[in-house]
Amino acid sequence: MENEFLNIYGAKLVEYGLAVVYMILFVGYWRWVQGEPAPGTNPDPKRAGRAS
């Protein structure tokens, strides 16, 4: 038998799952944005040193 009042847990599960995925991706994205590309991997090496 389906209990209507338990449905909210499904929504909460998605919310918490989304938050965990976000935090994992955020840490990686933060490090990627803040980091310097490895030597030789800059797609436009002419401008590589200009803003550093």
Partner 1 sequence: MDSTAVAATASWQVWFREKILLGMDLRTYLRSLFTPLNALAAVLIVFGLTVLVYRFAAGLGASTNLSQAQPWGLWIGFDMMSGIVLAAGGFTLGSAVHLFGMHEYHPIVRPAILTAFLGYVLAVVGLMADLGKPWNFYNMMVTPGSASALFEVACCVLMYTTVLLLEFLVPVFEWLGWRKVHERLEKAMLALTVLSVVFSTMHQSALGSLFLIAPAKLHPLWYSPYIFIFFFISAICAGISMVIVEGSLTHRIFQHRITGAHADMDKLQIGLGKAGAIVLFAYFFLKMQGVAEGEHWDLLLTGWGAWFLVEIVGFVLVPSLLYGYGARYKKVKLVRTAAVLTVIGIVLNRLNVSVIAYNFDKPTHYVPSWMEVSMSIGLVTLGVVAFRWIANRMPIMSEDPNFAGGEF
* Per CB under 8 A, 3 contacts partner 1: no
Binding mask 5-24 for partner 1 (x = CB under 8 A): -----xx--xx--xx--x--
Indicate whether 34 belongs to the interface with partner 1 (CB under 8 A): yes
Query: Which DSSP category does 36 fall into?
Result: P
Task: Name the minimum Å distance from CB 5 to partner 1.
Answer: 15
Position 33 contacts partner 1 (CB under 8 A): yes
Please report, as a single letter, which amino acid is at residue 9: Y
